[in-house]
Amino acid sequence: MLVQWESDESTCVAGLFHSVYGTQTFGHSLLGRDQRDIVRSVIGPVAEQLVFLFGTIDRDRLFENIGAGRKSLLIGTNGELVEVLPETLSALIEIEVANTLEQIPHKKRISQKIMNIYARQCIAAKPVLTERAYRQCVDVFAHYGSDGGPR
């Protein structure tokens, strides 16, 4: 998806590795955080930083930071604040939206409440998404009915 959306190369690579250290919702890590140097040598420092952040921030609060200005403060899963530049925030949001959209078709049922949350997140993300990314959000949500199943 990120390639189709014409996201930058580091964001695309980070999308492939997004859960290598585990995430807030995916507790299983393929590599420990003590192996960041190895991951960095394979995917590059920018992509690795995105992967690390994706695994350590509170992604439920990520969308609150859109339009925050020069720098955004993200809340880490351990409660610490992490300051990021707007381009880092945009990349993290693109990865999160792609991750969400990729998972939706694989779920048998999604509650309307959850679908509404996902839809609100995509609408909030519009300023930082490419037109292709936003259009895919709209298309995915149009495909699901009020019962959370495909139409």
Position 17 scores a pLDDT of: 93
DSSP character string of the chain: -TTTTT--HHHHHHHHHTTTT--SS----SS-GGGHHHHHHHH-HHHHHHHHHHHHB-GGGGGGGTT--S-EEEEBTTS-EEEE-HHHHHHHHHHHHHHHHHHGGG-S---HHHHHHHHHHHHHHGGGS-HHHHHHHHHHHHTB-TTSSB-
Task: Note the pLDDT of residue 24.
Answer: 65
> How do the pLDDT tens digits run along the chain, 151 residues long?
999 999 999 999 999 999 888 766 666 666 767 879 999 999 999 999 999 999 888 887 888 888 777 778 788 877 888 889 889 999 999 999 999 899 887 777 778 888 888 888 888 899 989 899 999 988 888 876 544 454 5
Q: Is 52 helix (H, G, I), strand (E, B) or coil?
A: helix
On the 0-12 / 13-18 / 19+ scale of CB atoms within 10 A, 74 is buried
pTM of the model: 0.85
Amino acid, single-letter form, for residue 13: V
pLDDT at residue 74, as a whole number = 81
Query: What's residue 143's pLDDT?
Result: 75
pLDDT score of 42: 95
